[in-house]
Amino acid sequence: MAAVTPHRRWFLSDHPAPWLLPLVAILVVFAIYPLIYNVWLSFHEYASFRRRVEYVGWANWIQLFNDPRMWSSLTVTFIYFFAALALQLVLGMALALLLDADEPGFGLLRGLLTLTLVIPPAVTGMMFLLMEDPQFGVLSWLLNAVGLLTPATPILATPSLALAGVLLADVWQWTPFMVLIFLAGLRGLPPEPYEAAMLDGASWWTVFTRITLPMMAKVIAVAVLIRGIDLFRVFDYIFVMTSGGPGEATYTLSLYAWQQTFSFIKWGYGATLSLLMLVIVLVMANLFIWLAKVRW
Amino acid sequence: MRWSRSTSVLRQIAAWLAVGVFFFPIFFWVTTAFKPAYEIFNQPPSVWTFDVTLRNFEEVFGISLGFLRQQEVLPGGGNFYMAPRLLDSLIVGLFSTALAVAVATLAAYALSRMAFRGRHHFVNWVLSTRMMPPVAVAIPMFFIFRDTGLMDTHLGLILVHALMNLPLAVLLMKSFFDDIPAEIDESALIDGASRWLIFRRIVLPMAKGGIAATAVLCFIFSWTEFLFALTLTQTSLKTVPVVSSTFVTSTGTAWGNMAALGAVAMVPAFIFILLVQRHLVRGLTLGSLKQ
């Protein structure tokens, strides 16, 4: 080891710096710098007459709280968030309990369920757009046939139904995410508590709420955290299915921030809205991590 | 728990029905790709029986299978030719995956094996970058790319997709390295091997399965990503999710063509995901749950 060049000595040492350097470099250039740029942008605005970006002080941040569209998109985002999370949790747990058995063919069923997870959400949105078409959509036709929907109702153009129409695509695509995680959790549970409960003659419901749920707490917490982070940023389904309409019925924060920047050329206000999202997600996620004691 | 025979049969029926409901949209979308227009606009919708055509594939991929007459005017004025878009998606997916996995593997080894001050905080920092809403990255990135010439280039999108996948890749690779006993490294260190040699010759070969699973997930997330691809590309490249919405034209939506592209785009992802079933849950939970 006589002729070790300086850059090789780095890799021969036991110091973590050279190993972490590429990661830190990418995160600084592509995460920290854009974040700083975004904060700078939120104190500026594009003046379309003079064709330049000008300093506007706190104007964007003040506008944020006096903007009825911001409040309505925040409301829609939270309704979407909680409705989708609740549906996916309950459906996911029900399906996981159903599939948690060594029956023949269940391995295949678990495999089939994973397929929804790898479809581009934009394509999923298109799939449901076709199925929910009022004229020739198979889902509209089915809902008409069972009498749940009057014929030719445009689901995605009816204010009271549009959000449910978009939610359906999300629930379809991501319930299997919950199923797979819960199944892995259920399969890993120890059998002893169940044997003891059987001897005591406990009912199915008691076993589920007193044994299964508490033992699954960590698994459920992780699933809620990861799904929650992704639900709050929902964009793809909305963008391809409704573009936020009808009116503001499906207008979410992500879409609002994106449109302010790229459709209305309000660069500074769009940046401010996206920072608002960032703050809400960081606060909610870290609060949840702390409360649920999730650890990596 | 033991189940009686009748419960078992009921359970089988319920499970197949439930999964069938989830599988139906995929079945319907794939069959739509094989339908001529009059079957797609049929009322009631044709689900199980319909006339079959390969026209949609011919138009989208520019191949000739005998369903399209020569010199026929193509729908969308020939704008539905999407083979180059598949290539764009593939280039972005493969290179961003390679970059993310390479960088993440190095970092994850250090995070798994070397004790240093603030390691826990460093892991949390990596995790918190996973929480950033894409729109909060895409807006400043649009202006940075515009000023640096990365706008509308493969390289730009590759870098952003790699960034997007880094938290997943780092945390997942760390969990795979944590599975390999540290004693192996320590005894090799005592024998005089360097960290780099141990990493390359001992740990990397042992973590091959984990690296493959990480790579597959990174590729799928890049393959399906929409917001960055929509914002940071214009004309010189477009990925499959972004062009999916371009089949909506002023004269109606070309559902058959769109379904043909969508169906073909699903196939590689389906094959990949079935190959890594064993590590899927660990991957979906960023390495925090093991199957």
Alpha-carbon distances, residue A164 vs A32, A80, A171, A250, B197 (angstroms): 36, 9, 10, 9, 56
A69 CB-contact burial (10 Å; exposed 0-12 / middle 13-18 / buried 19+): middle
In tens, the pLDDT along B227-249 reads 999 999 988 889 999 988 888 87
Quote the minimal CA–CA distance from B80 to chain A in Å: 16
Average pLDDT over residues B19-28: 94
Quote the minimal CA–CA distance from B74 to chain A in Å: 22
Is there a single domain that holds both residue B140 and residue B24?
Answer: no
Is there a single domain that holds both residue B51 and residue B134?
Answer: no
| pTM to 2 decimal places | 0.91
What gap in Å lies between CA B46 and CA B41, rounded to an integer? 9
Nearest to B85 by CA among B236, B232, B195: B236
Nearest to A116 by CA among A168, A164, A176: A176
Is there a single domain that holds both residue B113 and residue B147?
Answer: yes
The whole-chain average pLDDT of chain B stands at: 88
Cβ contacts (< 8 Å) between B46 and chain A: which residues? none
Token pair recorded at residue A195: 């044997």
Task: Name the amino acid, one letter, at B242.
Answer: V
- State whether residue A281 sits within 8 Å of chain B by CB: yes
- State whether residue A20 sits within 8 Å of chain B by CB: yes
* Residue B290 within a domain: no
Is there a single domain that holds both residue B52 and residue B168?
Answer: no
Q: How is A132-180 classified by DSSP, letter by letter?
A: T-TTT-HHHHHHHHTTSS-TT--GGGSHHHHHHHHHHHHHHHHHHHHHH
- pLDDT given for residue A294 in this prediction: 84
Share of chain B above pLDDT 90, in %: 54
What gap in Å lies between CA B12 and CA A170, rounded to an integer? 26
> Assign residue B152 a region: left if phi > 0, alpha if psi is -120 to 50, beta otherwise?
left
CB atoms within 10 A of CB A74: 19
What are residue B45's phi and psi, to 5 degrees? -60, 140
Q: Do A237 and A166 meet the contact criterion of CB atoms below 8 Å apart?
A: yes
Is there a single domain that holds both residue B114 and residue B71?
Answer: no
A contact test, residue of B11, B19, B165, B272 with most A CBs within 10 A: B19
- pLDDT given for residue B76 in this prediction: 58
Please judge whether B288 and A222 are an interchain contact, meaning their C-beta atoms are less than 8 angstroms apart. yes
- CB contacts under 8 A, A 70-109 vs B, are 95, 98-99, 101, 103, 105-106, 109
Of residues B131, B135, B171, nearest to A257 (C-beta)? B135
* Per-residue pLDDT at B183 exceeds 50: yes
Please judge whether A184 and B289 are an interchain contact, meaning their C-beta atoms are less than 8 angstroms apart. yes
Is there a single domain that holds both residue B100 and residue B136?
Answer: yes
Give the residues across from A173 on adjacent strands: none
Token pair recorded at residue A153: 């109702």
What gap in Å lies between CA B101 and CA B96, rounded to an integer? 8
Sign (positive/negative) of CA torsion B60, B64, B66, B70? Answer: positive
Tell me the pairing of strands B252-253 and A52-55.
unpaired
3-class SS of residue A227: helix
Query: Which residue of chain B comes nearest to A267, CA vs CA?
Result: B139
Q: Do A41 and A268 meet the contact criterion of CB atoms below 8 Å apart?
A: yes
- pLDDT given for residue A1 in this prediction: 43
- CB contacts under 8 A, A 155-214 vs B, are 172, 175-177, 180-181, 183-185, 187-188, 194, 198
* Residue B224 within a domain: yes
- State whether residue A222 sits within 8 Å of chain B by CB: yes
3-class SS of residue B276: coil
Is there a single domain that holds both residue B62 and residue B89?
Answer: no
Domain range for B210 is 83-284
* Residue B227 within a domain: yes
Domain boundary pick from B63, B78, B93: B78
Domain boundary pick from B57, B78, B99: B78
Is there a single domain that holds both residue B192 and residue B88?
Answer: yes
Please judge whether B269 and A257 are an interchain contact, meaning their C-beta atoms are less than 8 angstroms apart. no
* Residue B51 within a domain: yes
What gap in Å lies between CA B224 and CA A126, rounded to an integer? 13
Of residues A15, A114, A120, nearest to B226 (C-beta)? A120
- pLDDT given for residue A178 in this prediction: 95
Sign (positive/negative) of CA torsion A74, A75, A78, A84? Answer: negative
Domain boundary pick from B50, B78, B106: B78
Q: Do A188 and A181 meet the contact criterion of CB atoms below 8 Å apart?
A: no
Token pair recorded at residue A91: 């459906």
Query: Which residue of chain B comes nearest to A241, CA vs CA?
Result: B245
* Residue B289 within a domain: no
Query: Per mean pLDDT, which of B218-227, B235-244, B259-268 is the most reliable?
Result: B218-227
- pLDDT given for residue A8 in this prediction: 55
What gap in Å lies between CA B222 and CA B231, rounded to an integer? 14
* Per-residue pLDDT at B69 exceeds 80: no
Query: Which residue of chain B comes nearest to A219, CA vs CA?
Result: B289
What gap in Å lies between CA A13 and CA A268, rounded to an integer? 46
- pLDDT given for residue B289 in this prediction: 84
Give the residues across from A53 on adjacent strands: A46
Token pair recorded at residue B167: 């938290």
- State whether residue A127 sits within 8 Å of chain B by CB: yes
- pLDDT given for residue B73 in this prediction: 56
The CATH H-level superfamily of A59-116+162-291 is MetI-like (1.10.3720.10)
Is there a single domain that holds both residue B197 and residue B88?
Answer: yes
* Residue B260 within a domain: yes
Supply the CATH number for residue B113's domain: 1.10.3720.10
B contact test, residue of A37, A80, A119 with most B CBs within 10 A: A119
* Per-residue pLDDT at B193 exceeds 90: no
Q: For helices B255-275 and A121-131, give the axis angle rounded to 10 degrees.
A: 130
**When comparing pLDDT for B70 and B150, which is higher?**
B150
Q: What is the DSSP letter of B78?
A: G
Is there a single domain that holds both residue B60 and residue B16?
Answer: yes
How many domains does the structure of chain B reveal? 2
What gap in Å lies between CA B271 and CA A118, rounded to an integer? 10
* Residue B291 within a domain: no
- pLDDT given for residue A12 in this prediction: 53
Please judge whether A35 and B140 are an interchain contact, meaning their C-beta atoms are less than 8 angstroms apart. yes
- Tokens 């704008």 appear where? B79
- pLDDT given for residue B70 in this prediction: 59
Cβ contacts (< 8 Å) between B160 and chain A: which residues? 30
Low-confidence stretches of chain A (pLDDT beneath 50): 1-2
Quote the minimal CA–CA distance from A240 to chain B in Å: 7
Please judge whether B143 and A278 are an interchain contact, meaning their C-beta atoms are less than 8 angstroms apart. no
